[in-house]
Amino acid sequence: MARAFIKLTVTEKAERSIRAGHPWVYAEEVVSASDEAPDGSLVDVYSRKDRYLGTGFFNSASLIRVRLLSENANDRFDDEFFRRRIRWCIDYRRTVMGEDWSCCRVIFGEADRFPGLTVDRFEDVLVTQVLSLGFEKKKERLYDALITVFSEYGVRIRAICERNDVAIRLKEGMEEGKGFYNDPRLDPDFDGKLIITENGIKYEIDVLNGQKTGYFLDQKYNRRAAARLAPGRRVLDCFTHTGAFALNCALAGAEHVTAVDISADAIAQTRRNTELNGLAERMDFVTADVFDLLTGMEQAKKCPYDYIILDPPAFTKSRGTVQSAIKGYKAINAKAMKLLPRGGYLATCSCSHFMTNELFRKMLSEAAESAGVRLRQIEERQQAPDHPILWGVPETDYLKFYLFQVV
């Protein structure tokens, strides 16, 4: 049976981008349409020479006019299509994460061919974020597919928490909100709080009220790498959030770890996680602005640490603020480099896609020059493989992580 999707014709620029692997068609790249497409519906995308390029979700309210779901003209977007795609995602995680797939990102949007969709797994709880109107309209079928496919792998899903409390949904013509998906197969009494284990460390997380989807999974193996340098050292973990880097270092045998965050709630959470793991004797906690704290130590010419970890939130979320973000990254890294003794260690990162690796490396070089030190690189790392980088889609490449010795 022939498909009855509305046909959109796009520019040569869009055609080149799609053929190179990028799954978006921007508003200005649409040349014509065979009819008026309902927002959230599937449309077929064609070149000016009438060559089929792909099928995706249409949204007239978005600058991203089409988010491509497939480039296969034979695909039928029924329940089995989505179940098959979910199986691919799970099989990939089981391969690259091994036992760690019990807590991982199961679906990473465009990188997994689920444009505008994020699904994190925390044991038997799934946390979703929907940024695509097409998936918003199909989410009941999608959630049914998730519950069904996980059961095929012996995992009974207890709850699905929707974390759609992000402003970008407004730009897509959707409302913000959060809550639990109702389904008779799920636990109606789940309150969003649970304990997970990562790298042998237990964390109390709140998937309903915590940041993002409740916990940052992308630094899983970077925390492990950072911890290898920690034995016998005095560590300052800046922007600690839930204390993940700090706890990894303490468990690895650091002499002492100080966890710092401007949020009192984050510090309270870190305290609870520290007690949960029996590491309270190795740690202390400071509620402070990291810039102010480092500046104070610089002015006092006193730094009791020989290992500093910088894991700040994204300083830029758009191209227009990159230059001011660079100044912020440079200031904080230069302060840390200057405070560390010769032979000390620095872990530093950026989670902003717009702060490219080239810009980040240039910033680090300038920060080292400003601090009057040289950097000996130990490792250059990226996000964990459950957040795969899809070549041709630069937006999927966002996390930069470096380990240095200051010499």
Residues involved in catalysis: 351
Residues 148/128, Cβ–Cβ less than 8 Å: no
Cα separation, 174 vs 7, whole angstroms: 24
Separation between Cα atoms, residue 4 and residue 41, nearest integer Å: 11
What helix, strand, coil percent values describe the chain, rounded to 5? 35, 25, 35
Residues 321, 314: Cα–Cα separation, whole Å: 11
Buried b (16+ CB within 10 A) or exposed e, 173-183: ebeeebebbee
CB 10 within 8 A of CB 47: yes
């959060």: which residue's tokens? 178
- In whole angstroms, give the CA distance from residue 67 to residue 342: 50
CB 309 within 8 A of CB 236: yes
**How far, in Å, CA of 164 to CA of 177, rounded?**
5
Widest CA span of the chain, in angstroms? Answer: 76
- Locate all alpha helices (DSSP H) within 212-339, ordered by sequence: 220-227, 244-252, 264-276, 290-300, 322-339
Pairing assessment for the beta strands 52-58 and 42-46 based on DSSP bridges: antiparallel
H helical segments located in 28-178 = 79-97, 133-137, 139-152, 168-171
Residue 283 amino acid letter? M
- Nearest Cα to Cα of residue 341 among 232, 221, 234: 234
